[in-house]
Amino acid sequence: YGIESEVHKAADGKYVMMHDANTLRMAGDDIEIGKATYETLRSLRLKQKDGNRGRTDLRIPSLEEYLGICKYYGKKAILELKDDFTAEDVDEICRKVEELEYMEHTLFISFKLNNLLLLKQRLPLQPAQYLVEQPITDEMIQEMAERKMGINARQDLYTAEIMEKCREKGVATNAWTVNKPEMARKLMDWGIDYITTNILE
């Protein structure tokens, strides 16, 4: 359905895709993304599963490359706004998505609510989900309903009752990170809208 990845801003203003804010785990080099230039980040060779860094094609992708991959394979771009972005940053990220004519196929997510509020100021109808790892309360569900956002929560935070309350309020639900079929089936029985997974087929 889609490919989820996180966008960070490099020191020179370029946007790159990486889960961590530091390159140590994926590249073996201890570099903070926000303090390095795009050229420096791009020069790193990423590790394969066995830890080897022999492949020259495994590099940190740019935002444009990530979007291009999603577009080429016909996948939704599930774009996590990872850093504390400014209104100018969010505007520029949106422009890059628009330049590739892929906004209607892009879902924005973030742990930082302000990123999503900035997005909604620019694009009030754009799908967005608030990433949470704290208990899902009635107040949170109501707030998301009013802001026209979904909830993207850690899988164990959902119950059938919470899912029903979200449905009643028109709040989309997404669970992460669901790698076990039995958990996926339970969430589906409850009516989950999206499942984020590393390995589930």
The H-or-E segment that residue 185 falls in is helix 181-190
Mean pLDDT of 143-171: 98
Least trusted range by pLDDT, from 47-51, 65-69, 158-162: 47-51
- Each residue's pLDDT tens digit, 29-54: 999 999 999 999 999 999 998 999 99
Q: Strand 15-17's sheet: what is its strand order?
A: 15-17, 2-9, 76-81, 106-110, 128-132, 150-154, 173-176, 194-195
SS (H, E, C) 107-147: EEEECCHHHHHHHHHHCCCCCEEEEECCCCCHHHHHHHHHH
- Each residue's pLDDT tens digit, 78-113: 999 999 999 999 999 999 999 999 999 999 999 999
For residue 201, what pLDDT is reported? 66
Instruction: Report residue 185 CA to chain centroid gap.
Output: 23
